Amino acid sequence: MKFTSAQIVHNPKKTHTAQLKQEVESFLTEKGIKVSQDGEVLITIGGDGTVLYHRKIISQKPVFGIGTASSFICSATHVTWKQELMKVIEHGYSVDERPMVSCELNGKLLDEGINEVWLRNSGHRIMNIDLQIDDKTFLFRSDGIIVSTPLGSSSYAYSCGGDELPLHSKKFSIVAIAPYRRSFKPLAVSDESVCKIVAECESPYFVAVDGQMVKELDKRTELKIYKSKNRAKFAIPIQK
């Protein structure tokens, strides 16, 4: 696809991003790329968290992330952004669509995520987890549970012992956080599966979507996690 316009957002909590946003806007304008809120490509400046924060926009238009050297899902860094954007300007881009997850809390839609949904205790009290995946049931105690997409499988889920899934695999990763006596082993299930989680804990605990939307819970909670109808769109420079 030909690159003709862009919307630029930045993370205001990072001091260097405001200046970089101005530099990117000037660079694109000089190259004949229109910059506006209606731009066809969303350019985020900050890091992976900035990309995830704008997940609702990314389900509608492709994202080109500018982050740091440690960023995983960004397309460029604050050092390489000019050369990577030049590839998009000169050769265009393709749109890579990746699965998202929907999360319902007690029967109501909570949010949608690109990486994962996790449920985790906030203190020293262990949680009782009743996990149902289609027609299979798993009962265990742990500090929490993570359901991640292939993209998210390389993040929190991987750190907790899950396998890193190929980006375009049609699977979700399910990982328990510190399960008691290793009573639950990480799973990779079809992304057509529906995961139902009933959780109980004697102290408050949290549910989070992409580490961005965090909600405190108590007592008994029911979560339903499944593949979203929306997909996250990424602008990939065409290599020539």
64 and 167 share one domain:
no
Q: What is the mean pLDDT of residues 22-26?
A: 98
188 and 207 share one domain:
yes
Q: Is the pLDDT of residue 240 over 80?
A: no
Express each pLDDT in 30-78 by its tens digit.
Answer: 999 999 999 999 999 999 999 999 999 999 999 999 999 999 999 999 9
209 and 121 share one domain:
yes
81: domain CATH number is 3.40.50.10330
CA distance 51 to 9: 10
Burial class (CB in 10 A: 0-12, 13-18, 19+), 94: exposed
118 and 154 share one domain:
yes
pTM exceeds 0.85 for this model: yes
104 and 212 share one domain:
yes
Residue 123: left (phi > 0), alpha (psi -120 to 50), or beta?
A: beta
Domain count, the chain: 2
Domain closes at, from 91, 116, 147: 91
146 and 213 share one domain:
yes
Q: What is the mean pLDDT of residues 221-233?
A: 97
Express each pLDDT in 173-211 by its tens digit.
Answer: 999 999 999 999 999 999 999 999 999 999 999 999 999
Quick one: CA dihedral 226, 184, 215, 220, positive or negative? positive
76 and 140 share one domain:
no
